[in-house]
């Protein structure tokens, strides 16, 4: 009985010793892993301080590989993603988006170190933002140069120069550029219509003053009728000589070729198209 009791005690001690050894080994491995994580994060921070982004990312990813739940490593990688996004938006001139991304970086715990990377671009963005506000004001002033609700309203002759000055800004946004180009196009189209209508009015006045000026459409109608009625071989053969004027309305003596010979055909009123012969 005594012998069995001693054997049981020996086995119990052996199991206890094995358990202690296993715990000691696990604790040692855990300590080594923790040391690797801390070292990787520290190395990542140093790499950031030297603006070596690839090395920083590599170290933070190493920390996550050792400890996939490590919050600090995740935060650093998230901050680097924001930085990459910020730089992409700056290069694409998406300044509104860049400002939002920068605000997110400012709110992170990692910003104290990250600002070493963003500082120069933050100053640039601040300058660009001020310039964009200035452009906004100039675009607003440009659009006020005429009132499109008034039929014959047009901006003064300086509008083209002012519009081109706005378009010359290096950091003009696509939205601002589109607004100015649309303004120029609409003004040009509007001016063309107004000037065309004015030209018609002037022509009508000139025709009214000139007794021998054909009224609109009268000449074409008359010539077509002469050919269709058999008075002329073709419109090209019709010839006019100025005749009398009655009540401010002129008459042309009309000649035309028929079967290759020229004949007098009629006298026509240039205002009404009435003819006799």
Counted residue by residue, the chain has a size of: 277
Please tell me the distance from the alpha carbon of residue 37 to that of residue 34, in angstroms, as a whole number: 5
Query: Is pLDDT at 63 greater than 90 in this prediction?
Result: yes
As a dihedral over the C-alpha atoms of residue 152, residue 153, residue 157, residue 161, rounded to 10 degrees, the angle is -130
Question: Of 167, 32, 174, 161, nearest to 94 (Cα)?
Answer: 174
Name the band, by pLDDT with cuts 50, 70 and 90, for residue 133.
Answer: very high
Q: Which residues pair with 22 in a beta bridge?
A: none
Query: Is pLDDT at 182 greater than 90 in this prediction?
Result: yes
Query: Is pLDDT at 19 greater than 60 in this prediction?
Result: no
Please tell me the distance from the alpha carbon of residue 60 to that of residue 110, in angstroms, as a whole number: 13
Q: Which residues pair with 107 in a beta bridge?
A: none
Residue 41, Cα to own-chain centre: how many angstroms?
A: 42
| pLDDT value for 46 | 92
Beta strands in the chain (DSSP E): 239-246, 249-258, 261-269, 275-276
For residue 187, how many other CB atoms are within 10 A of its CB? Answer: 19
Name the band, by pLDDT with cuts 50, 70 and 90, for residue 248.
Answer: confident
| Mean pLDDT over each residue of the chain, to the nearest integer | 86
Q: Residues 30-59: what's their mean pLDDT?
A: 87
CB burial readout 190-201, b (16+ within 10 A) else e: beeeeeeeeeee
Q: Compute the half-sphere exposure of residue 33: CA atoms within 13 Å on the CB side of its CA.
A: 13
106 with 82: CB under 8 angstroms? no
Residues 6+ apart with CB under 8 A from 184: 159, 160, 163
| pLDDT value for 143 | 93
Which DSSP string do the residues of 36-96 spell out, in sequence order? HHHHHHHHHHHHHHTT-HHHHHHHHHHHHHH-TT-HHHHHHHHHHHHHHHHHHHHHTT-HH
235 with 265: CB under 8 angstroms? no
Query: Is pLDDT at 15 greater than 80 in this prediction?
Result: no
With tokens 């001016």, the residue in question is 191
């Amino acid at each position: 009985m005594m012998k069995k009791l001693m054997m049981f005690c020996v086995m119990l001690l052996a199991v206890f010793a094995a358990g202690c050894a296993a715990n000691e080994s696990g604790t040692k491995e855990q300590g080594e892993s923790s040391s690797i994580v801390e070292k990787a994060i520290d190395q990542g921070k140093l790499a950031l301080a030297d603006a070596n982004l690839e090395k920083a990312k590599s170290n933070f990813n190493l920390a996550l590989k050792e400890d996939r739940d490590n919050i600090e490593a995740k935060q650093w990688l998230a901050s680097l993603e924001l930085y990459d996004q910020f730089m992409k938006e700056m290069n694409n001139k998406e300044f509104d988006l860049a400002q939002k991304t920068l605000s997110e970086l400012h709110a992170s715990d990692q910003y104290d170190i990250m600002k070493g990377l963003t500082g120069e671009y933050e100053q640039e963005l601040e300058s660009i933002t001020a310039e964009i506000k200035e452009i906004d004001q100039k675009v607003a002033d440009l659009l006020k140069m005429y009132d499109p609700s008034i039929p014959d309203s047009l901006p003064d002759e300086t509008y083209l120069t002012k519009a081109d000055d706005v378009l010359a800004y290096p950091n003009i946004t696509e939205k601002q550029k589109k607004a100015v180009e649309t303004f120029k196009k609409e003004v040009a189209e509007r001016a063309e219509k107004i000037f065309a209508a004015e030209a018609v009015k002037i022509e009508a006045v000139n025709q009214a003053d000139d007794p021998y000026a054909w009224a609109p459409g009268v000449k074409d109608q008359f010539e077509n009728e002469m050919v269709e009625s058999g008075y002329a071989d073709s419109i090209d053969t019709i010839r006019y000589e100025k005749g009398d004027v009655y009540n401010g309305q002129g008459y042309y003596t009309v000649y035309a070729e028929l079967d290759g010979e020229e004949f007098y055909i009629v006298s026509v009123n240039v205002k009404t198209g009435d003819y006799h012969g």
